[in-house]
Amino acid sequence: EEQLVQSGAEVKKPGESLKISCKGSEFSFSNYWIGWVRQMPGKGLEWMGIIWPGDSDITYSPSFQGQVTISADKSTSTAYLQWNSLKATDTAMYYCARMAGSGSYGDYWGQGSLVPVSS
Amino acid sequence: EIVLTQSPGTLSLSPGERATLSCRASQSVSSNHLAWYQQKPGQAPRLLIYAATSRATGIPDRFSGSGSGTDFTLTISRLEPEDFAMFYCQQYGTSPWTFGQGTKVEIK
């Protein structure tokens, strides 16, 4: 069965950098858009951006453009979400999702990566 | 960007009852590209409905989606105990994709 497995929880301090991962299996990773979604504590879902691992074509949601970096390594079927300098307001659960069709909706989801940022 | 407004914020119902959740868009959703998700505490979202009316793989037929343009509805015909959760709509007709703020279906 198609699966996305995300990296584990990471406790970080403001100003630190971080790269979390999302590894796909049992599907052709290079041929699906992969999306990232933020869920802040007690809040709703927000699309951050999507990537096509085949050629690393990326579309960021305007709210997240310049705030994070999305990348992918098709050789290892892994997508990444990266911060250069974390803020306390980045504290959230981050989900990756396989996007069906032309990068539309998430049909398979990772289990989530919790990122608490606190001094 | 398209703003999705879900109502009500909370729906208090008993098992066996019918649930009707609304999702209204600030402008027409292109090609009725609207999805619904269910999220339980501590879990990732699960896709229920895509293209406004199509059930995702493995989703029971008590879940149904309807609507077009700016008004969409998710209906759960008879609530089972495992259905109580948060529900989100999402449009993917116009970039950037956006979610509604969610409706919580709780046990009365």
| pLDDT 10s digits, A18-43 | 999 999 999 999 999 999 999 999 99
Chain A environment of B33 (Cβ under 8 Å)? 104
Query: Average model confidence (pLDDT) for chain A?
Result: 95
A47:B96 CB<8 A: yes
Alpha carbon A114 to chain centroid, angstroms? 11
Report yes or no: B96 at the A interface, CB cutoff 8 Å: yes
Report yes or no: B36 at the A interface, CB cutoff 8 Å: no
What are the tokens at A28? 């052709």
Report yes or no: B3 at the A interface, CB cutoff 8 Å: no
d(CA B35, CA B91): 6
Give Cα separations from A92 to A5, A95, A115, A117, B84 (angstroms).
Answer: 17, 10, 6, 9, 23
pLDDT band at A101 (very low <50, low <70, confident <90, very high): confident
A109:B88 CB<8 A: no
In contact, B80 and B73? CB cutoff 8 Å? no
Burial of residue B86, with CB atoms counted within 10 A of its CB: 0-12 exposed, 13-18 middle, 19 or more buried: buried
pLDDT (mean) for A69-85? 97
Chain A environment of B96 (Cβ under 8 Å)? 47, 59, 61-63
In contact, A105 and B90? CB cutoff 8 Å? yes
To test the contact with chain B by mutation, choose from A3, A58, A64, A104 the residue with the greatest count of B C-beta atoms within 10 A, namely: A104
Query: Which residues of chain B, if any, have pLDDT below 70?
Result: none
pLDDT of residue A12: 95
In tens, the pLDDT along B44-56 reads: 999 999 999 999 9
- The percentage of chain A sitting over the pLDDT mark of 90, rounded to a whole number, equals 95
B46:A109 CB<8 A: yes
Nearest chain A residue to B3 by CA distance is A46
| Helical (H) or strand (E) element with B26 | none
**Is cis: bond before B60, omega within 30 of 0?**
no
Chain B environment of A3 (Cβ under 8 Å)? none
Evaluate if residue A102 carries a pLDDT over 90.
no
Chain B environment of A105 (Cβ under 8 Å)? 35, 47, 50, 90, 92
pLDDT of residue B77: 97
pLDDT of residue A103: 76
d(CA A44, CA A27): 28
Residues 6+ apart with CB under 8 A from A104: B33, B35, B50, B92, B97
